[in-house]
Every structure is written in C-alpha cells, then in structure tokens.
Amino acid sequence: MGFHPSESLLKLSIALLCIMQAKGQVSFVGLPDTVTLLQSSARGTVVYTFTMENCNSTNPTVTMDASPTTNFFNTPSLTIAGLDYNIEITLSSTVALNADVVNQYILTITATCDNETVFNQLFVMIKNDIVEPQCEPKFSSQAGDTVTVYSNIPASSPIYKVVLRQPNNAPVTYSIIQPSPSVFAISTSGSVLSPTSGFTNAAKTYQLQIKVTDSLGNSCNGTLTVEVLPVYQNPINFTVPSTAVTIRENAGPGAFVTTITAQGNNVQYEMISPNSAYYINADTGIIRTTFNLDLERIPSLASTTLQVRAYDKNLRSSSAIATVNITVLDVNDMAPLCTPAVIVNQVPQTTPIGNILATLTCTDPDVNSTALSYSVISNANSLYSFRMQSNNLVVNNTLNYDSAEIASVNFQYSATIVVTDSGTPQLTTNIPVFITVTPVNNYSPQCIGPLTYSVNENAPFGTVVGQLNATDADYKFNNVEFTIEGGQNPPVFYMDPKSGEIHVLGPLDFETRSSYSLRIQVVDLNNDIMPDPVNQKSTYCTITINVQDYNDNPPVCNPPYYSTTIYSTLVTTSNILSLQCTDVDPTSTLTYSIVGGNVDNLFLMNGNSIRHNPFSYNPDGVYNPVSFTLLVKVTDSTSSPQFSTTAIVNIDVVPWTTTQPTTTTTTTTPEKKTKIVNETSTYWQPDIWFMVVLTITAALLLLALSLLAWKLATGNPICGNTATEATQPLLQNKSVANVENPLDAAKEQPPPPSKDKKDIAPVSPLSLQFDGRAQDPVTGREYLFNSHTGERRWL
C-alpha cells in the first residue's frame, strides 16, 4: 500500500484535536437552563440531567445551593460517561412543592475538578397542577364544622358558607347529601340556608353532609353541625341589619374591614356563617381579615357574605342577626410572568444589527390583567448592544469579540430585560440575558515597525538585530507569526516566528555587502484549535538591515619601503615625501607617527608627509648624520580595536653650505618665547620698617655698581669702536648662549652680507667665527663673542 499524505494529515489533526479537547476548560454542558416541575411531583423525580466536560479527575466534587433555601432537592449525583461525567438532580423525600408559596427555585451548581472550579445555574419553575376542588380543612375533617343559630332566625336565611381552597374548573355545584331529603337548602354559591318554615324545635341539633363537585366531576365532602338555640324575651337589635363594605386585597392579616353595632345589654358578637378569611371581635363588633387576601390565589374572595349574630352574653337566647357583604378589590401585586425565565444564546460577532436573538412570552397574572412594556438594562460591556422590539430581543449595535474588556467576561454580553405592567403600582419582572459571542477572523495583521535596523559586521552568531512588531485587531491581539520570505542566499538572518526577533545567522562583511532587504510575511493565527487556512489573513512588509563597518583590517602602505635624497637646505615647510597608505575599512582614519630612527628629532610628520627640522653640518660644531632610516607607524583608529603597519623610509641628506635658500620661500624667524618657571618656596616676611631700609640700601648699592660698570666700559678701547663690523653667517651650535630653544635657533636663517664696505672693520683670522651674542648692561649695545678665545665684536 502506498503512503497517503492526506490520510496521515487527517489522523494527525484528529489526534491533535483530541489532545486539545482533553486539555480544555472544565465546563457544564446544558447550563444555564430552565425546567418546569409540577406541584404534585413525587420524591425521587428527576429534575434535570446535564454533563460535565474536560474533567480528568477521578474524584470531582459537586455541590448545590438553592434560592430560596430548601431541602426539597437532593445533592447532585455523578456517573462516569466515557471521558465526561453525567450529573443528575432529583427531588428529596421531604419534597412538598407549592406553587402558591414559591413558584421558582434557583439552583447554583458548583464543581471542583483538578484544582479548577466551575459553576452555573438551573432555574426550576413550579407549576400548579392540582385540579380537584379542596374544601377548608375543618369543614372536610372527620368532626366537621359547627354553626350555632337562634330559633327565631328568619326562614331561608344564610347560616353558613362553604369555602373552597382550590376553586378550579368552574362552575362548582353544592349539594346536601345527608340527610336526604333535608329541611336545609344550599345555594349555588355554597351558602347553607335555614329551613323555609323556620325552626319549630329550639333545642334541636342537625348534622349535614355536603358535597362540592366541579365541572370535571372532581369533588370534596364536608360535615356541618347546626345547633339551634332558643330565643328569650330580652331582645337585641341591630341599628343597621345589613351593610356592604369594599376593601382592597393584600392589606395583610388583621386588616380592618368594618364595625357592626347592636343595641342591647351585655352585647356580644359572633359570626354564624364561619369564614376562614375574616374574624370578629366579640366585644367590639370589629371585623378583620385573618390572612392576606390574595385574589390571584383565591379568586372566590372577591365577594363574601357574612352572617353576624349579636346576643346577650348572659342570656344567649336574646340575639339578632345582621348581614355583611364584603367586596375585595384587586390590587396590582403580581409581577408579569415570562417564558423563558432566562435568555441564553450564542452568536458570531458578525451578527447583523436588527437580528432577533430571543422572543419572550409574558402575561400579567393579576386578576385585572394589564398591558405589558419591555425595556433593556445594559451593563458596562453591553451598553447599546441590544434593544427590544415589542417582546423580541434584537441586536442594536455591532457585537465585538476583539476587546480585552469582553474577554475579561468570557466574551459574554450580560443584560436584563425589564417587563413592566401598567397597573398601579407598576410591577416588573427581570429576565437575565447572557449572549456569548464567538470569534470571526475579520482583520489582517499590520506591521508597525521599525522597518530599518543596524548590526555591526562583527556581530557573533545569534546576535539580536532587532524586533519587528505587528498588530492584529482580532482577539487575542497581536497573535501573529513571522516568516522571512526571501532575500537571503545563503541565509544570513533568522527570524523568531513568535516574537519577531531578528537574529544573525551567518557571517557579515561590510566590505562585501553593506545592506540587506528582507520581505517578511506576517500571518495571524485566528485563535482556532486547528489552523484555518481559509480564514487566515496575512500581510507583507519589507525591512532593511544595514551592516555597520567594524575595524577589522590593518592599513596597507604601497610601497612599504621608501628611499629619497634631499639637500640640507630644503626648507622645513616642504614635504620630503608622502606615504601612500590605504585601509579597506571605509570608516578608518589613518594617523602617522615616527617610531624609530629619528635621530635628534630632525623629522616630523605632516599628515602622511615627512618634513624636517633644520640640519646642522658645522664641522666645528654640531654635525648631523647624513643618512637616516625612519620607521613610520600607520594606525587606523584611536580606539580599540586598533590595527597598524610600519613603513620604512630611507633619507639621505646632502650637506649644503650656501646661505641662500634653495627656494624663493622666505623663512620667517619664529618669535622667541620666554619660558616662565614658577617655584613655590617658604619665605620669611619681615616688618615694614625693615623692608623700607632694605629697599633704600639695595637701590644705593645698585646705583654704585652701575656707575662702576659704566666707568670700566668707557675706558676700554674696544668699547669705543663705533664702526659696525661685518659678520659671518652663524651655524647651529648646541652651546649657543641666550637661546632658549636650540630648535628655534636652528630655524633662524643668517642675514645677508652687508653691501656697504665702508662699515666693515678689519677682522682678525681668529675672530672669523663667533658662537655667542650678548648685550652690554650699561650701553645696551649687542656684541658677538667667541666662547673659546673670549674675543668680542660689537654690532
């Protein structure tokens, strides 16, 4: 069998998907959700089953909290189902659901697995499914209820009212089944009426069996005992024998209804038609409610007729009966009821504006149902994202997946739909909304630079040249990959695909190539478990890497050896020769210095050219060498690294004694500079009088010495010679007097010979050469002298 790359790639993709799934986040599949339970549900009934995924622990824990608090639900049970866990919630043995008391429970389920915790909610709606009528407990008990009447009660007067707890499936019929036939009658509203002929025996007791049947044939039975009391001659009379009152529902237990008043002595009050909704104060005749009257729970409370007896507490046979008709008005006290109770949905971020996300079905359970209105309350991350069109939740603004804010809430928009009725006061119901947004790769990455980098040519392998930055507006932001598309043969640079860092891969040589241009492909990873080439987006950008020169080549002199001959009279400002040296490093600057063979420092460098200081070839004085071998060091840098080479220069000097320069260039005699030497010494400072005396004494002594010197000078015949004697050119001598710097003296050129022969005095052969010049301290005249013979010649 042949090798199929596509089949192998498919198997690898499946394996990777399984691994990624195994490492996914622990989550509940199926929550949040809403379920409905019948009020008559028995213990052990399964409330809800869901799955916990990506839990690799063999011993996870699951807990549950109920709101409002109750023990009607068992702790969730876990069973292993392949790689997942099935979780089941059931009703406990103490369950007693009552939709009239609590019609919704919120169960919060929390699971801990592998140190990871997940929680979510289940909304349990309780529905009333009891259809048969339910008689009042006392009336339907084995002993039954008892009513007491006086024998003088008018014929066919209501003496008792049969009250139902669950008046469903109207109409409801009432009948007396025992005794049959009966002298009593019962109305269609459940009121037991006194005999049509009245009571003939005042001390008689009657027991009635009454049956209540709804339209479906469901029924309940009760027992009523009627006790007939005799009437005595002390009459009790009501001022108003019949009254009608109106009250509002939900006034609470003990709410005032009305007050009845009877005339007579020792009057006491009682209700002869028992009603669980009302009671009467025996002393005051005030009627109050026994519990909160709620027409939504017990619609029959809308209209009630009470029979109230007033009697003499010392003589019960003296009594009177009054009728109280009570009407209960509906109050808007029931908030709207909506399905679903919570909205959970998942949509892509490209869902268009106006798209319907959910539809609510809401009713007003109040007896007087009113119109409903809908609105959306948003939180910070869902502001302006949704709106209501009637009872439909629609998209109002573009949903955004690509933001850190929405990522911080697991990409879930949360809001609340408020359903409001139009009753007084207005009541509302809040519907939680959870809309999860799924990603769509809709942005291309962008290069943000820098796009130009520099690297030294001596950078070693792995050196970081720089980092290319790119952005991707799709979340997770800037999740891109970099690739060098071309421009390298052989490869010189490497780019980290994740960070975008550029590293040196091969050797660099500025002298061979000073710049590289690379085309970089930037691809987004669109955050999928597996790469999606169809939706993947990319961009290209070009970067430039400039190679910086590094001093890695020594200078080269061509030729490395030089030889020349000059006359000693060559002016010092002329170049003897110039060295021809180069460096392949373009940024190098060559410097030249003489490091050997420079006898008496007669040569110096002027850039790459050699010049000389004045030569001295005086047979009787200083006589410089006539052949020199100079070592000239050529350096390419003043800092490290530094390379150098040495050139050899042979210079032969031909001594030449002419006083005329070999060029027409006039040599300027440099100005002599006075050398100032500062010395600090410890001294003694005398008093002022001592300094004055010492100064005067020194001045007198100096004057005397000056006069003596003048006298001696005027008496010398040589000093009296006024003729200017001819002079010879002076040659350099290291022992010349009054010359501070021998090099400055060597640079001086002799003055031309005087053309006026009348000024030339006879000169002896011994005075042809003088090696010194001085000045007479008295006359100030200058003269030449020979340090060997002491001979002087005045100037």
Model confidence at 788, pLDDT cuts 50, 70, 90, reads low
pLDDT bracket for residue 692 (50, 70, 90)? confident
Residue 685's pLDDT is what? 60
pLDDT at 387 over 80: yes
Q: 700 by DSSP, 3-state: which?
A: helix
556-654, what's its fold?
Immunoglobulin-like (2.60.40)
- pLDDT of 687 strictly over 80: no
pLDDT, tens only, 625-670: 999 999 999 998 877 788 899 999 999 999 986 534 444 444 455 5
pLDDT at 467 over 80: yes
Across the range 108-117, mean pLDDT stands at 88
Looking at residue 753, its pLDDT comes to: 41
pLDDT tens per residue, range 596-635: 999 989 999 999 999 999 999 888 888 899 999 999 999 9
In this prediction, residue 750 carries a pLDDT of 43
Residue 410 — left, alpha, or beta (φ > 0 → left; ψ -120 to 50 → alpha)?
A: left
Domain extents in the chain: 22-127, 137-328, 337-438, 446-548, 556-654, 721-794
Domain 337-438 belongs to what architecture?
Sandwich (2.60)
| DSSP secondary structure letters along 395-421 | E-S----SSHHHHTTTTEEEEEEEEEE
* Element holding 523 (H helix, E strand): strand 515-524
Tell me which of 346 and 215 has the higher pLDDT.
346
Q: Who contacts 60 (Cβ-Cβ below 8 Å, separation ≥6)?
A: 52, 78, 85, 111, 112, 113
Least confident of 181-195, 220-234, 352-366, 714-728: 714-728
**Of 325-334, 552-561, 779-788, which range is least confident?**
779-788
Strand locations in 68-182 (E): 77-81, 84-90, 104-113, 116-127, 145-150, 158-161, 173-178
**Gap between the Cα atoms of 662 and 495, Å rounded:** 69
Q: Does domain 137-328 have CATH number 3.10.129.10?
A: no
Measured over all CA atoms, what is the biggest interatomic distance in the chain, rounded to whole angstroms? Answer: 200
Which of the four CATH numbers 3.90.230.10, 2.60.120.920, 1.10.1740.10, 2.60.40.60 does domain 22-127 have? 2.60.40.60
Say what the pLDDT of residue 778 is: 62
CATH label, 446-548, candidates 2.40.30.10, 1.20.20.10, 2.60.40.60, 3.40.50.620:
2.60.40.60
CA separation, residue 376 to residues 380, 393, 395 (Å): 13, 9, 11
User: What's the CA gap between 710 and 707, in Å, rounded?
Assistant: 5
CB burial readout 475-511, b (16+ within 10 A) else e: beebebbbebeebeeeebbbbeeeebebbbbeebebe
Of residues 580 and 730, more confidently modeled: 580
**Does this chain's domain 337-438 share its CATH topology with 556-654?**
yes
The set of residues, in sequence order, having a beta carbon less than 8 Å from that of 77 and lying 6+ positions away, is: 87, 88, 90
* C-alpha 366 chain-centroid distance: 50
